[in-house]
Amino acid sequence: MMSDLSTDYPNLPKHLAFIMDGNGRWAKERGLSRTMGHRRGVRAVKNIVKAALKYKIPYLTLYAFSTENFNRPPAEVSFLMKLCTRSMGKYKKFFIKNGIKFLMIGSVDRLPKELQLAIGDLRDATETFSELTLIVAINYGARAEIIDAIRGIVRKKIPESGITWETVADHLHTRGLPDPDMIIRTSGEKRLSNFLLLQAAYAELHFLDTYWPDVDEKTFIEVLREYARRNRRMGIVQR
Ligand code: IPE
Ligand code: IPE
Ligand code: MG
């Protein structure tokens, strides 16, 4: 019934990026441990990935772990690392079956070896796919990303006069990917928390009160509707 959204909403986004927030509060409200909230968060990830496939949104980015999240209690950090590692193994078949290409942004440096291997394995196993590109931000921070980009540019000795926005964009972790059309944050918080700061230059911002574990296909459809209502001017005067 709802699946042919392209006729209802001609301006579907090409790239949606989610700041998956509220797992802890979701759990707390139910008297559960924060880890339970994170577990249920993985289910919500699957709901959203399925919805992106169904409504043919070609790029989906999910913010899973920020550079600052390493400052959480070690037990929670270690649980999240294990959950990420396990989920990647568990959903590998699902990715292959559905033609999903997996990419990671962020730095693998501080990640446990098992997670580094799981990321590499999933990326290699899915690199030829193009039905949906799923970009997961792990140990990602926009400030660390710009430092990496500057280092890369300096290393190549690119002359000062030759530096354009394209030069910078080509050295970001998101090189080759389109900018997000809309950034959605769940759980009622209204900030970007070091997520895609440069790529967000002209992104629509959308804040939902829903906690991440409660996000489902209905939420996704609402996001598409909200996007269709926005009038993106990109600095240009409209007739
Ligand atoms: C988002 O949920 C998941 C991560 C940041 C890893 P939180 O863990 O931030 O949940 P709240 O914000 O404490 O509710
Ligand atoms: C942002 O959420 C990072 C992710 C969702 C992965 P946080 O819960 O860490 O952000 P703050 O601390 O509320 O800004
Ligand atoms: Mg949070």
Residue 166's CATH number: 3.40.1180.10
| Residue among 18, 20, 23 whose CB has most ligand 1 atoms within 8 A, to mutate | 23
* Total count of domains within the chain: 1
- Tell me the residue range of the domain where 103 lies: 2-182+203-228
Has residue 193 been placed in a domain? no
**Long-range contacts formed by 120-128: CB under 8 A, 24+ apart:** 121/88, 121/92, 122/88, 122/92, 122/95, 125/92, 125/95, 125/96, 126/95, 126/96, 126/100, 126/101, 126/102, 127/101, 128/101
Q: Is the pLDDT of residue 202 over 60?
A: yes
Res 59: pLDDT: 98
Res 238: pLDDT: 76
Q: Is the pLDDT of residue 187 over 90?
A: yes
| Residue among 25, 34, 65, 69 whose CB has most ligand 2 atoms within 8 A, to mutate | 69
Confidence of residue 3 (pLDDT cuts 50, 70, 90): low
Has residue 52 been placed in a domain? yes
Q: What is the average pLDDT across 198-202?
A: 98
Confidence of residue 158 (pLDDT cuts 50, 70, 90): very high
Has residue 238 been placed in a domain? no
Res 209: pLDDT: 98
* Position with higher pLDDT, 235 vs 8: 235
Has residue 84 been placed in a domain? yes
Q: Which residues contact 44 (CB under 8 A, 6 or more apart)?
A: 20, 212, 213, 214, 215, 216
Atom 13 (ligand 1) nearest CA: 24
